[in-house]
Amino acid sequence: MKMNSILSNGKAVGQNETKLRTEAVSLYYGSFQALRNISLEIPERAITAIIGPSGCGKSSFIRLFNRMNDLITGAKVEGQVELDGIPIYETTIDVVELRKRVGMVFQKPNPFPMSVFENVAFGPKRHGRNKIGELEEIIERSLHQAALWDEVKDKLGQSALSLSGGQQQRLCIARVLAVEPEVILMDEPCSALDPVATLKIEDLMRNLAQEYTIIIVTHNMQQAARVSDMSAFFMMEEDRAGVLVEYGPTSELFTNPKDKRTEDYITGRFG
């Protein structure tokens, strides 16, 4: 099952259809501008890494795609964000439906304080899929997909908080998979995990990328290089607004950066 990450990085994702697109997007929190004029196209069934120094708006950027920024008072979006060509900031868009299609995994594993089973069942149940039998099927499938089934199949009734950090994060991934999204946003999903758990999640991501569009925010250059097909490098400008410096296939961005700032960052000169 394990894929050679060098090879997968080399796959021609440029031929994949565009799943998500931003055009001239700016994001404001009140009077503070967090993102400025960002345009990029994210290919489907591939992993796109968002890299850059702390505070450059990486998390804010991926939260555009499931409208998680809506929760913050004073947040305002300018420009166009599209999922499959449909603008998602139109007033006619059902945000709940959007979040079903665009799932999200957070920095700190956030399993709910309930059983493993109930954690994965949470999403499907909220969408009215609570027939006995059907639910069990969804949960087994999701846990298999998240490479967690073998570890938890005998303790589905136990509290999710009793799992290890890495297992908790894979449970959170299973929870997202259970509602059958098309896109999975991952906001530094490994930053709270040890190296072994991190590698497991990375393997998992490579497998999931065959079916899902994945965007991952990461601080970790090696991680971006290991797992992603495309990379976007963000930086802060002087007013602390995040801008997109360079975007392209990961293999190119890491071996042959076009922008001096990208080169400085990936060679560890700052950040």
Partner 1 sequence: MKAGAISKRQLSQRTAFSLLIIATIIVIVPVLVIFLQIIINGANAISWEFLSQAPSQAGKAGGILPAIVGTFYLMLGTIVFALPLGVMAGIYLTEYAKENWFTRSINLAIINLAGVPSIVYGLFGLGVFVLLFHFGMSLLSASLTLACQALAMTVTTSREAILAVPREYREGSLAVGATRWQTIRHLVLPQALPGIITGAVLAMSRAAGETAPILVVGAAFLLPGLPQSPFDQFMALPYHLYTVAAHVPGMPKSTVWGVALVLLVVVLSFNVIATIIRLRARQRRLNA
Per CB under 8 A, the list member of 7, 71, 132, 196 interacting with partner 1 is 71
What is the C-alpha to C-alpha distance for residues 111 and 171, in angstroms, rounded to an integer? 7
- Give the range of 10-18, 176-184, 194-202, 249-257 binding partner 1 by CB under 8 A: 176-184
What are the φ/ψ torsions at residue 24 (nearest 5 degrees)? 50, 50
- Contact between 34 and 241 under an 8 Å Cβ cutoff? The reply is yes
- Minimum distance of partner 1 from residue 32's CB (angstroms): 16
What is the C-alpha to C-alpha distance for residues 36 and 145, in angstroms, rounded to an integer? 36
- Minimum distance of partner 1 from residue 179's CB (angstroms): 5
Helices 195-208 and 165-177, interaxial angle, to 10°?
Answer: 20
Q: Give yes or no for residue 178 binding partner 1 (CB under 8 A).
A: yes
CB neighbour burial string for 181-191, b if at least 16 within 10 angstroms, e if fewer: bbbbbbbbbbe
Per CB under 8 A, the list member of 34, 49, 138, 172 interacting with partner 1 is 172
The contact mask relative to partner 1 for 195-234 (x = CB under 8 A, - = no) is ----------------------------------------
Positions 179 through 198 that interact with partner 1 (CB under 8 A): 179
What is the C-alpha to C-alpha distance for residues 122 and 244, in angstroms, rounded to an integer? 36
Per CB under 8 A, the list member of 36, 45, 58, 99 interacting with partner 1 is 99
What is the C-alpha to C-alpha distance for residues 161 and 260, in angstroms, rounded to an integer? 45
Name the residue nearer to partner 1 (CB basis): 73 or 92. 73
Q: Give yes or no for residue 66 binding partner 1 (CB under 8 A).
A: yes
- With H, G, I as helix, E, B as strand and everything else as coil, classify residue 243: strand
Residue 162 is encoded by which pair of tokens? 């009793």
Per CB under 8 A, the list member of 19, 36, 58, 100 interacting with partner 1 is 100
CB neighbour burial string for 220-232, b if at least 16 within 10 angstroms, e if fewer: bbebbbbbbbbbb
- Minimum distance of partner 1 from residue 265's CB (angstroms): 29
- Residues forming contacts to partner 1 in the complex (CB under 8 A) are 66, 68, 71, 73, 96-101, 103-106, 108, 110-113, 122-123, 125-127, 159, 161-162, 172, 175-176, 178-179
